[in-house]
């Protein structure tokens, strides 16, 4: 990781540290995330981006086939025309890629007034009807402006997590934890059903049920969860509780497609 230079009287917003609580391994001043969002907003890609996670910077691209080339092209085009901060792509790597679902990770170098930082960005694909998303104004406090963005609804985040977990797409304990938290948050059950239906289209629920059964007996995934609990004291959620969430979400999907 690049090391930042010591603070020698820079402005306050240049040294506010930001680290995602459960996600990004990169530490950088929060103002750079705002610059990054502004760069997208001022580019031709403004209407091609849906934000899945603003805290840890995860986005999906609309009507763009996601691969190493397209991610490099997307970021390179944005950075080429943005002058306030120098961003450059260090590496793009595949997390997983299927015909239906793609996710890539980009390591981005930030060069600002001689200091160097690293930023993580996850880039995925969208489907024809997923996510529908919501549009809102998002405040960039450090830049003292608002921008209009499209972002995932909570129900769509939950449907997305359900899909990735049941298909065992590079799953870790953090995603299990997030699924449990979102499921027991204030979600709209009707909207969850719509999100699941839009994500899955035609699906055999018996196959998904078998996948959850395999996950329930997965020693490897359960050990990841137990290790996560041991590191993060105060989490009193059992592995079986998370598997129960998966079965309950499957029931909602089944109800929806059998209407």
Give the domain ranges of the chain: 12-152, 155-257
Q: Distance between CA atoms of 15 and 7, rounded to whole angstroms?
A: 7
Residue with tokens 């809102």: 136
pLDDT in tens, 158-187: 999 999 999 998 899 999 999 999 999 989
Confidence at 25, pLDDT banded by 50, 70, 90: low
The reported pLDDT for the residue numbered 22 is: 45
The reported pLDDT for the residue numbered 3 is: 35
Q: What is the mean pLDDT of residues 135-153?
A: 96
CATH topology of domain 12-152: Nuclear Transport Factor 2; Chain: A, (3.10.450)
| 20 has a pLDDT exceeding 70 | no
Q: Give pTM, 2 decimals.
A: 0.85
DSSP string, 165-224: HHTTSS--HHHHHHHHHHHTSS--HHHHHHHHHHHHSS--HHHHHHHHHHHHT-HHHHHH
> What does each C-alpha distance from 115 to 4, 6, 57, 97, 258 come to in angstroms?
5, 9, 21, 34, 57
- Cα angle value 247/192/236 (rounded, 5°): 50
Q: Are 79 and 88 in contact (CB under 8 A)?
A: yes
pLDDT in tens, 84-124: 999 999 999 999 998 889 999 999 999 998 889 999 999 99
The reported pLDDT for the residue numbered 248 is: 97
The reported pLDDT for the residue numbered 201 is: 76
pLDDT in tens, 191-204: 999 999 999 977 89
| 57 has a pLDDT exceeding 70 | yes
Confidence at 28, pLDDT banded by 50, 70, 90: confident
Q: What is the mean pLDDT of residues 61-83?
A: 94
- Mean pLDDT for the chain overall: 89
The pLDDT > 70 percentage for the chain reads: 90
Residue with tokens 């996670």: 53
């Amino acid at each position: 990781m690049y090391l930042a230079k010591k603070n020698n009287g820079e402005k306050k917003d240049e040294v506010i540290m930001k680290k995602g609580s459960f996600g990004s391994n990169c530490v950088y001043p929060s103002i750079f995330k705002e610059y990054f969002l502004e760069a997208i907003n001022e580019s031709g890609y403004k209407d091609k981006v849906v934000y899945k996670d603003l805290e840890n910077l995860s986005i999906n691209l609309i009507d763009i086939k996601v691969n190493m080339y397209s991610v490099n092209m997307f970021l390179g085009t944005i950075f080429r025309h943005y002058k306030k901060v120098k961003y450059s792509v260090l590496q793009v790597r595949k997390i997983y890629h299927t015909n239906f679902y793609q996710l890539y990770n980009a390591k981005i170098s930030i060069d600002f007034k001689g200091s160097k930082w690293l930023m993580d960005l996850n880039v995925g694909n969208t489907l024809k009807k997923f996510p529908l998303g919501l549009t809102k104004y998002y405040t960039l406090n450090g830049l003292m402006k608002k921008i209009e963005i499209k972002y995932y609804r909570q129900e769509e985040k939950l449907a997305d997590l359900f899909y990735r977990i049941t298909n065992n797409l590079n799953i870790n304990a953090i995603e299990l934890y997030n699924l449990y938290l979102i499921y027991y948050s204030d979600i709209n059950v009707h909207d969850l059903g719509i999100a699941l239906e839009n994500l899955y289209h035609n699906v055999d629920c018996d196959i998904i049920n078998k996948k959850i059964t395999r996950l329930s007996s997965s020693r490897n995934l359960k050990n990841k969860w137990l290790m996560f609990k041991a590191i993060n004291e105060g989490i009193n959620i059992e592995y079986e509780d998370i598997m129960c969430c998966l079965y309950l979400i499957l029931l909602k999907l089944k109800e929806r497609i059998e209407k």
